[in-house]
Chain A
């Protein structure tokens, strides 16, 4: 029962119920705090409803199709493989719904008060619900957490119409896949879409303004993905300058400076995500917003107002990853209740891209390490020689480890672990620990990987890095 216009007081009021917001709510409630969560749509946020989770279901559909296509190599004959994408879409919705109910149930179980609508923060940590079923509710928090999230960025000249021009929001609701598609933006999200579409039989072109796709990844890992993409018929144009598009009767043509038009049925725009801070702040909040609209916060997630915190995609200068938002939520709650806490080390968070081949990494790239003045020792091992990779029939990929070079030339502390290949998103854990626990090559190499397993490639690379490999030189 909520009474409009009467100020309701909470220990913490959270604006936004995505991973950052709901994690803060659950973790804070577990610490005994009285919490209100304001969500305009459904708790779970972009990640659950319009991002990571639905995208991964589609990628898994593509994986199943690929497995069936290659089943002949195992002596299993499949005929008449057909794709009904609407079934996959329905399955995705079921999974999302189940997870949504799970999060909702957890929040209810921990007695988090949920308000339906969009929150606006005013002075003195007062948050007003400005629309939705609970419009008019005023919630005052001793502390407020901004977890307003982000929305897909669009390009000038590409009005999202859901027919020819889509962002991830619209793409993930498709019932039928196009015959041809262009993906604008070859970052993590773009490569996942391109990979999935290609595996499902769509002719895909990636258009990237930078000199390479996956610009944030180590260049050798990006090259592995690029090579695998090309092998599967994905066309990649880098360094392009897109000027607009010309819709036709069926599909549209993308116009570029100094290059021929690319005619496709559909354009997926994946050029990053903008913070959802429009209308978020009233007067006198003391919260600082940077020129790009992101909320400025320190390592303890405090904004310029020490009683207002920010977590997740809305925070300036931090990776837009659900698991980073989870970690930030924990830092925030611990800071609020005065427990000692170590801030998130953004240089060393795990990254995972679920394209085929998958990419996973943690720590500095080779170029990044050199930029910071490190002399480095680098070792890499392709998955080609890995027994398990041959057994599963998926040998495209590489593990690359970058270590600081010691005075005697040997490899010291591990600075970065980069992987491309089968199930590397599930293999990164060991590399993540090595980087974050600041292990040296020989310290990490002394530990054992099971045989036969994909993770042996990581182990082999470590051995080689420590001076002498068994299989790898």
Chain B
């Protein structure tokens, strides 16, 4: 038997709410397979199973608030995957103390029904019939042993026509992203403004090379973020959080970056205490976070504590995005693609066209805290700081 406890969720986090169990009592679970989801005021996290085996007890129900370190479930490391539909998945009260073992009394009919094979064996013939008929195997109910799809099942399914709709369960990451975005849109009245600014600084960045002095990549995103962070010092109401009608201004600037995870939604890793960072230091901190993201080593602290967010261009020709505010922050900067564009230059009263580099910056803001004029001023200021950035000494 292995106890499942609520692990540390990061500094200063002592408790979390169990928001979802991905397994029920009797289910087999592999080591590191997502077992439950825990929510704190900053982040929702999936907790991996600490052991392989069968989930025999759930001690904290969905909705329960649990202290870190408390037992929330028990895994039988050598048990059978006995599913039991009528056994309680948790004892409602005293979540952390109950010790019932509902698996033992599972009726055999349920055992057989629930242990059904999911897509284990499809004979070549059945596979071909379904493929010819345009029917997806996942939509066919099998009547063979263990729920296997027989030839008759396949033919019956094909007779009903090809699969036109497939119901797909959302990945946990997408579901989390969706929940967060829904809450944000429903709770915060979003305003948006976009400003085109001079990006000729990128010519200097290109000339000097896209690698920092200590070997980290310098990106359009990191260059613009340096300017965005410095501008926040003059627009402190944008480096803030808004919670229950209360606006909290933060003296420390912790900036998050939107990162899209393949088919699994979006994460926003945070560079904490970013105010004093040079371009070189910021580039290193961002690279470190990206490395942890790629190796799935991000911890809750990396995803928490943001006070402002930067959403960078999602393609080479993106003009701007209208990002949704990461709650409980009050603003998010959108960076378009840095583009070569025709620029009207006026010299001695004569207007001429030249090729220049421009980028469109946008700001989604919480209209309870900020207004369009202030937001546009902020973006103009970012543009000025960007134009004046001393790349040579900062890189």
Q: Contact residues of A with B, CB < 8 Å?
A: 11, 33, 142-143, 298-300, 302, 304, 306-307, 335-338, 340-345, 413, 436-440, 443
A299 surroundings in chain B (CB, below 8 A): 112, 145-146
Q: Answer yes or no: B140 CB below 8 A from chain A CBs.
A: no
Q: Nearest chain B CB to A121's CB is how many angstroms away?
A: 16
Q: Are A341 and B82 in contact (CB under 8 A)?
A: no
Q: Are B151 and A302 in contact (CB under 8 A)?
A: no
Q: Are A298 and B80 in contact (CB under 8 A)?
A: no
Q: Nearest chain A CB to B116's CB is how many angstroms away?
A: 8
**Binary per-residue interface labels of chain B (106-141) against chain A in the complex, 1 for a CB within 8 Å, 0 otherwise:** 101001100101111101111000000000000000
Q: Are A443 and B80 in contact (CB under 8 A)?
A: no
Query: B80 is contacted by which of A336, A345, A439 (Cβ under 8 Å)?
Result: A336
Query: A437 is contacted by which of B108, B117, B124, B144 (Cβ under 8 Å)?
Result: B124
* Max count, chain B CB within 10 A of own CB: residue among A307, A341, A342, A440: A342
B120 surroundings in chain A (CB, below 8 A): 340-342
Kindly list 12 other residue pairs between chains A and B, CB separation below 8 angstroms, not including A142-B80, A143-B80, A345-B144.
A33-B78, A142-B76, A143-B79, A300-B146, A307-B79, A335-B80, A335-B115, A340-B120, A341-B117, A341-B120, A344-B145, A438-B123
Q: Are B151 and A142 in contact (CB under 8 A)?
A: no
A342-B121 CB under 8 A given contacts A298-B108, A306-B80: yes
The 5 closest A-B pairs by CB, nearest first: A338-B28, A338-B81, A438-B151, A437-B123, A142-B78
Q: Are B54 and A302 in contact (CB under 8 A)?
A: no
Residue of B nearest to A303 (CB): B108
B148 surroundings in chain A (CB, below 8 A): 342
B126 surroundings in chain A (CB, below 8 A): 438
* Complex A-B: 26 CB contacts under 8 Å: A142-B78, A142-B80, A143-B78, A143-B80, A299-B145, A299-B146, A300-B111, A300-B112, A300-B115, A302-B108, A304-B108, A306-B80, A306-B82, A306-B103, A306-B104, A336-B80, A337-B28, A338-B81, A340-B118, A340-B119, A341-B146, A413-B151, A437-B123, A437-B125, A438-B151, A443-B125
Q: Nearest chain A CB to B154's CB is how many angstroms away?
A: 9
Q: Are B78 and A306 in contact (CB under 8 A)?
A: no
Residue of A nearest to B120 (CB): A340
Q: Answer yes or no: B184 CB below 8 A from chain A CBs.
A: no
A304 surroundings in chain B (CB, below 8 A): 108
B151 surroundings in chain A (CB, below 8 A): 413, 438
B314 surroundings in chain A (CB, below 8 A): none
A342-B146 CB under 8 A given contacts A336-B80, A438-B123, A438-B125: yes
Q: Give B69-121 interface residues, CB cut-off 8 Å to A.
A: 76, 78-82, 103-104, 106, 108, 111-112, 115, 117-121
Q: Answer yes or no: B19 CB below 8 A from chain A CBs.
A: no
Q: Considering the chains assembled together, what is the distance between the CA atoms of A143 and B104 in angstroms?
A: 12
Q: Are A306 and B111 in contact (CB under 8 A)?
A: yes
Residue of B nearest to A343 (CB): B145
Q: Are B54 and A338 in contact (CB under 8 A)?
A: yes
Q: Considering the chains assembled together, what is the distance between the CA atoms of A299 and B255 in angstroms?
A: 57
Q: Nearest chain B CB to A442's CB is how many angstroms away?
A: 11
Q: Are B80 and A338 in contact (CB under 8 A)?
A: yes
B78 surroundings in chain A (CB, below 8 A): 11, 33, 142-143
A413 surroundings in chain B (CB, below 8 A): 151
A143 surroundings in chain B (CB, below 8 A): 78-80
Q: Considering the chains assembled together, what is the distance between the CA atoms of A63 and B151 in angstroms?
A: 41
Q: Nearest chain A CB to B29's CB is how many angstroms away?
A: 8
B112 surroundings in chain A (CB, below 8 A): 298-300, 302
Residue of A nearest to B109 (CB): A298
Q: Are A302 and B111 in contact (CB under 8 A)?
A: yes
Query: B111 is contacted by which of A298, A343, A443 (Cβ under 8 Å)?
Result: A298
Residue of B nearest to A344 (CB): B145
B28 surroundings in chain A (CB, below 8 A): 337-338
Q: Considering the chains assembled together, what is the distance between the CA atoms of A126 and B256 in angstroms?
A: 57
Q: Are B117 and A306 in contact (CB under 8 A)?
A: no
Q: Answer yes or no: B172 CB below 8 A from chain A CBs.
A: no
Q: Considering the chains assembled together, what is the distance between the CA atoms of A344 and B28 in angstroms?
A: 22
A343-B108 CB under 8 A given contacts A338-B54, A443-B125: no
Q: Answer yes or no: B150 CB below 8 A from chain A CBs.
A: yes
Q: Considering the chains assembled together, what is the distance between the CA atoms of A185 and B181 in angstroms?
A: 76
Q: Nearest chain A CB to B323's CB is how many angstroms away?
A: 41
Q: Nearest chain B CB to A202's CB is how many angstroms away?
A: 43
Q: Are A306 and B115 in contact (CB under 8 A)?
A: no
Q: Nearest chain A CB to B110's CB is how many angstroms away?
A: 10
Query: A306 is contacted by which of B108, B121, B124, B145 (Cβ under 8 Å)?
Result: B108
Q: Considering the chains assembled together, what is the distance between the CA atoms of A142 and B79 in angstroms?
A: 6
B119 surroundings in chain A (CB, below 8 A): 340
Residue of A nearest to B29 (CB): A338
B117 surroundings in chain A (CB, below 8 A): 340-342
A443 surroundings in chain B (CB, below 8 A): 125
Q: Considering the chains assembled together, what is the distance between the CA atoms of A11 and B54 in angstroms?
A: 13
Residue of B nearest to A440 (CB): B125
* Max count, chain B CB within 10 A of own CB: residue among A336, A338, A343: A338
A438 surroundings in chain B (CB, below 8 A): 123, 125-126, 150-151
Q: Considering the chains assembled together, what is the distance between the CA atoms of A33 and B108 in angstroms?
A: 24
B118 surroundings in chain A (CB, below 8 A): 340
Q: Are A342 and B81 in contact (CB under 8 A)?
A: no
Q: Are B76 and A306 in contact (CB under 8 A)?
A: no
Q: Considering the chains assembled together, what is the distance between the CA atoms of A336 and B125 in angstroms?
A: 30
A142 surroundings in chain B (CB, below 8 A): 76, 78-80
Q: Considering the chains assembled together, what is the distance between the CA atoms of A143 and B106 in angstroms?
A: 15
Residue of B nearest to A297 (CB): B108
B108 surroundings in chain A (CB, below 8 A): 298, 302, 304, 306
Q: Are B106 and A306 in contact (CB under 8 A)?
A: yes
Q: Considering the chains assembled together, what is the distance between the CA atoms of A36 and B103 in angstroms?
A: 24
B103 surroundings in chain A (CB, below 8 A): 306
**Binary per-residue interface labels of chain B (263-290) against chain A in the complex, 1 for a CB within 8 Å, 0 otherwise:** 0000000000000000000000000000
B121 surroundings in chain A (CB, below 8 A): 342
Q: Are B123 and A343 in contact (CB under 8 A)?
A: no
Q: Considering the chains assembled together, what is the distance between the CA atoms of A341 and B54 in angstroms?
A: 16
Q: Considering the chains assembled together, what is the distance between the CA atoms of A343 and B145 in angstroms?
A: 6
